Amino acid sequence: MITDSDRSRLQTGFKQATRAVNLGKVQKLIIALDSDDKVREPLVSAAGEKGIEIVTVPTMEELGKLCEIEVGASCAVILK
């Protein structure tokens, strides 16, 4: 899901992801299904409107591990 070449273009966190999506700089949005609706719904909606690929993972803990961070993550983006 996250390749080695994607790692250099990976950003985690709601604020960074929202900013990048709104600026049209995102190739892929990765979002945890157990993240808060206030985080998930606006990001998924904005990404859908811009035609950004959306990938889901079951938990924030799993997304944190995918991003190689020690805490859970609600969302992450891979920049263009």
Give yes or no for a contact between 30 and 55, defined as CB atoms under 8 angstroms apart. yes
At 15 the three-state DSSP class reads helix
Give yes or no for a contact between 70 and 64, defined as CB atoms under 8 angstroms apart. yes
Task: Examine the pLDDT at 2 and tell me if it is beyond 90.
Answer: no
Distance between CA atoms of 67 and 55, rounded to whole angstroms? 14
Model confidence pLDDT, tens digit, residues 11-62: 999 999 999 999 999 999 999 999 999 989 999 999 999 999 999 999 999 9
4-79 under CATH 3.30.1330.30, yes or no: yes
28: amino acid identity, one letter: K
pLDDT recorded at residue 60: 97
Model confidence pLDDT, tens digit, residues 8-20: 999 999 999 999 9
Distance between CA atoms of 45 and 65, rounded to whole angstroms? 25
